[in-house]
Structure 1
Amino acid sequence: MTEDINEAFKNFIKHMPGAIYWKDINGYYLACSDYLLRESNFKDESDVVGKTDYELFPGRLANKLRKNDLKVIETGLELIAEEFIILPNKDRKFFQVIKTPLKDKNGIVIGILGNSVDITDRKRAEKLQIEKETAEKVSKAVEMMSGCIAHELRTPLAVIGINIDNLKIEVKNFFTGRDKLDSSEAKQKNKIEDFIKNTKLAIYSANSIITMLLVKLRTVLNRQVDNKNLESNLIKHCISEAVNEYPFYNNEREIVVWGDKSEKDFTYMGNDLLTKHILFNLIKNTLRAIKEAGRGKIYISLRQGENFNYLIFRDTASGIPAKVLETLFHQFNSGNKEGTGLGLAFCKMTMQSYGGDITCNSKEGEYTEFTLSFPTLTKGLRTKKFI
């Protein structure tokens, strides 16, 4: 009679619509539902029945499962817990398990009845939500911090700008009313005016760089470029501004070969500030490579096509190894110990937000060539006017 009851109970478990199992106090599976077999990718009940967790799962996981079983056996109380399982097909899943003690008529625990509910999707959703909330908190903190940093940097620049304007007025007043300046005075006046002009340009460049860095920081945090405010721009103007505003040292400007007048212009839909930042990044990286190689020049040229127009940025320094090329545009990947690995990843995101791309071709020891592709524009688009 007892055997008949056991068989009936096993048959009952077999057809239960959930991941149900029955174990004895030694941890051997006595029965399990067909649903559990299907969901766990077991072929049939012979893969489970008559075995322990140590025969089905890795040792550390089996130890954890057995520990939960022993809690139920020793306390005689129901246990609700979460268990992480690596299935035979290597799938990794989270289960919420309810383990209930089975007792004989004397109240002695003789086995365990378990029900496992797959909560993998829920756990993933919870993880994503936590990651989202964390990212939002970090984003807000960085936004506040970047705003403070920008304010702290722009304030002294503004003070310098005001003093330069006052100096310009004083210089003008000093020389006003003087009939004729001798050669040394005229030379001195021109020098002072050049200093004023260069300082104003440096302030403008510094403010532009601060803006670029803030945009870059927000882009890296959000992992995308805001493309809502793109407008058509003249590429030649953007290149010329980038070359003129970049803070070159000594005679570095002479390294850049840019034939403004000989190149045929084109318009592109984008953000001129972001495009200038791309060029700044390429110039900075190339100047470092040229310095290390002890040779090289930068050549900037334009090419037009049917669907895309192209900006070619080529240098003749040391080239890039093939292994490095494979991950060149990955975030936080930098071949330079002083770099963060954000620059080229930012360039990639920016160009793709325009509907274009940036690619790199290089031959180690000879050259490196970046190609920026811009989608061609339909006629009638508004182009920003430059004064």
Structure 2
Amino acid sequence: MKILPISIALFICILSCGSSGMNPAEAFNLEIVEEPSRLPYRFTGTGCTNSWKFPISLDSSGIPALYIVQNNWRKPSDLSSIIFKWEDKERDNIIAQFNARTVFIISHYSGDFDHDYVEELAITYLIGDTVWLEILEPFEEKQHRILLEVGEDFDSSGSWDGTVFAFNDFDMNADGFNEIFVSVSAGYDLSPRYLACVDWKKESIIWKYDMPPYISFDHSYILRDPNSGEHVLLFGAGSFCNGVEGNGLDDCHSYLICVTLEGGMLWQKEMGGRYTHTHPELIDYDNDGKPDIITEIYPEEDDRQTRDIIIVDIMGNTLDYIMMEKYLKNMQMFDIDLDGQEELCLYFGDNSIECYNDQLELEVSFSCGAPLSFRDSYDFINQGKPQFICNVRGIGLALFDSEFRQLAFLDEEDPVEVFKSDAALANIFVRNPSGGCSYNIDKAPWQSVFSRYPILAFLAGFIPLSIIIAVTWIILLKFRQKNKTIAQQRDSLDNTLKELRQTQQKLIEAEKYKQAKDMAGGFAHEIRNALFPAKASIKKIESDLRKSDQADSGIPKLTLLASTAISKAIELTNLISQYTRLDSIYQPENVNIHSIIEEVLETNELRLKENSVEINLEGSDQVCIESNRRQFFSVINNLLLNSIDAMKDKSERRIDISWSHNESSVYLKFRDSGGGIPLELQESVFNAFRSYKKEKGIGLGLAIVKRVVEMYGGTISVTSQPGTGTSFNLKLKSSKCP
């Protein structure tokens, strides 16, 4: 991306101060300056890491109040808290505090549930495997606490892996109290997954509706059906890909769903396949004064392919289907022209943005130098017109004025999220999901957040500006044609690179197909070999039973042989099933290396003692990686069992496990004192169904290790000398420990 020198950037900014803004009929280039010192304003504020503040209305005066979420993030015995407080100077005091014995509060949803002009707060959290919804009324002594579910640990991971969100409310039975809609969902434990309606005043669940896909709770709407006059609940649902089915839905597809407030399905439309999601927005497409629904749709099998757009009415009838010529990354409703009416903003893979009115007529388009998305607008610096807060590259924030001149830039090391503000309260909350620096911007005046750089520094540099501008302008004119040629060559190189990536993808798919064929052959061969002695033994038992009692003494031995062979077949089947499912169970999380290694050693303690294996560990107990706990357990377990088998012929049996780390990577070395691997076999040691052991196995252990490591952005290599042992060297993606 080209950035003008600071002198020219400032000069152009001065000359353009009186411009009338963008021309909606023309696309224009939105330059992004990522060097804060080149811009007239800067972000200032106080960092916060363990408390999140959100606006809430606690009286009819319009005076702002906050609720503060404080999660303990450490151990289940600690408390997480919700604190209500006034934020005006006259009443800067705490109103109430509520505690929950949970690691963290999963969701918090505010609203005037009892129509008394004071908002309540619905929070959800887990205590062990129990799922809770609690309604907090800061001025009442009695709180309402509802047990929604008790999860079961079906996958034997040690706990139920579910979650729960409160996401909408409506007075469906006209009793003066809004019922609350919640989504309960599980991951590998598969169940329960459902949508529920809760009567919080009576502390009871009115109805449940099984929902295999996950609900896009931040894109749900209560709408009135124009035919029946009844209100309905509309939402999008995304794909888990765990194979769960129910109520005509499954979790391998995404849907647009409309249900009655009594818990019945009105209609559903399938939007896409594996790993796709649906985030519906509301527009008046046919200009009839009634809301229509627009959302992304995936014509291909999964989310890696092109996304198109579909528009349906509230009855589920398709109004239009629009094919995208460019790759659509995301869509969002945002008031881009500050006229009080939100536009539909489409974000494309080439960093361009197109904004449309409700009838999908183009109003403005941008070409950006980096991925950019709009987050909020407000007159932060008291100019008389609102400014825009934008997310840049997912890791930075930029401030633009109403004519899209950049004013400030905040660079973060990690992705940031911006929570949309209430303009009357002017609250913005910026945080890092990974726990880095956070900004909580919640107090006026806004000059404390966006401060102008010292005017003296500007004047001191203005004297030589005219000379610098003149010289630089001549140089720019001279090299303009050269830059044009370079741009053409760059475009040609981009096209070539795109073709190479497409060819590479085809080769990868061909290799996957070949591997699948090899796997099927190995599967059939091993199962036949495992079941053959079982079949022969059973026939022998049947033959002996027809003879005299002399054969009875051999029957137990034959039965044991049959049982062992069948068990081996089941073990092989499970191992192959685990290998084939690796791609479909990608769920990254923070994993403590030391904790997993200790768990593997404890699991194999008896086997280590039987083989007299000495274990040496070297590394910090506070090193974490981005992986999956169960899958990384399988990595360490396979490496350990592989090393034990490799040392059976050795008198000295020793395994050294060491790890170190820096900011981005963790380096893990797994070394044994076995017989080593011949040089000619080292290149194929990670191939599926290849075993270099004397006692031949199925050859999937190291293949699983390599696939899991690479799936989470790591690498693995092997170094070995026959007779001196083998070392497996892993480079893994580092993450912050909780």
TM over 0.5: same fold?
no
Q: Which structure has the higher relative contact order (CA within 8 Å, separation 6+)?
A: 1
- Length-normalised TM-score, structure 1: 0.40
**Structure with greater proportional helix content:** 1
- Length-normalised TM-score, structure 2: 0.22
